[in-house]
Structures are given as C-alpha cells and as structure tokens.
C-alpha cells in the first residue's frame, strides 16, 4: 500500500486478505526451531497423543506471525504500536489459514494518524476462527 492509501483508510475498509499455504509438519518443525518454542506438542505426534490430542497442532505464535504480515506488508515499519490476539481455536496440520483486517477506527493524536484494525485468522474449510485481535498503528503525517 502506498503511504497515501494508508492515510486514506476509513472505518469499515478491509485489507486485502492474506491466504497462507497449507500448514505442514515441516512448517511446524521449522517454526519450532526458528521461534525457540520447542514445546513437543507441536512437533512430536507421540507427545501430542499422550497429551490427549489426535495429532500435533500449530503454534499460536505461527498464526500471529502470519497475521503480523498483514501489517508489515502494508504499513511502514515502526508504525505498529499495539498488537493483541486471542487464540480462539487450534490450527491443525493441513489447515489453510486466511488472515483478514478491517479498519475499526481512525483518529488523529499528536500529529499522527492512529488506525485501529480488527484482525482475524480463519480456516474457511473448517468454518472456524482461530485468532481474533486488533492492532493499533501510528502513521506520522
């Protein structure tokens, strides 16, 4: 998005959705090592099953990382002030995640435009929402 387009955002506007490739076991192994979250419940099916799960499932922070790309790919670096999510449902192997953002509010505070976005990650094929949250960005004029 150009800076002009970012500044023109108004409540109700939707960001172009980000559609991710299907989650694979390799995605999870790579994320475990790269993120430092080594909880075996995400990478070791034996451990997951002993913990009462049918299979491994994705790290919540993987989805939050994907959701962050909605922001980093569209807004200037350093403009993100606040980013919060609730992990509403587990993301499973083979899930195709779609990340969406919609402008909730725009206001001018101290010579910057503050944009509040409602965010969500969904798995349309299973009809579920896995993450809900919001972000606040401060865009200097």
List residues near another protein by CB under 8 A: 20, 27, 30-31, 33-41, 47, 50-52, 59-62, 64-66, 68-69, 71-73, 77-78, 80-87
Least Cβ distance, residue 16 to another protein (angstroms): 16
Q: What are the two backbone dihedrals, phi and then psi, of residue 27, each rounded to the nearest 5 degrees? A: -55, -45
Q: Which of 39, 105 has the CB closer to another protein?
A: 39
Helix spans in 60-118 (H) = 60-72
**Cβ proximity of 56 and 113 under 8 Å:** no
Which residues are within 8 A (CB) of 140 and not within 5 positions of it... i.e. 6 or more apart? 79, 111, 112
Least Cβ distance, residue 111 to another protein (angstroms): 18
Q: Which of 10, 140 has the CB closer to another protein?
A: 140
Q: Which of 10, 80 has the CB closer to another protein?
A: 80
Cα(44)–Cα(93) distance, rounded to whole angstroms?
Answer: 12
Least Cβ distance, residue 58 to another protein (angstroms): 11
**Cβ proximity of 84 and 134 under 8 Å:** yes
Least Cβ distance, residue 121 to another protein (angstroms): 13
């Amino acid at each position: 998005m150009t800076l002009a387009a970012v500044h023109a955002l108004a409540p109700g506007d939707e960001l172009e959705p980000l559609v991710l490739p299907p989650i694979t076991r390799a995605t999870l192994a790579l994320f475990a090592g790269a993120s430092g979250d080594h909880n075996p419940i995400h990478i070791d099916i034996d451990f997951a099953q002993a913990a009462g799960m049918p299979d491994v499932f994705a790290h919540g922070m993987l989805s939050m990382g994907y959701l962050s790309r909605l922001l980093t790919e569209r807004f200037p670096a350093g403009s993100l002030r606040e980013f919060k999510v609730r992990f509403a449902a587990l993301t499973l192997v083979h899930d195709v995640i779609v990340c969406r953002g919609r402008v909730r509010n725009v206001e001018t505070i101290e010579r910057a435009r503050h944009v509040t976005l409602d965010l969500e990650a969904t798995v349309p094929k299973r009809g579920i929402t896995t993450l809900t949250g919001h972000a606040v960005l401060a865009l200097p004029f």
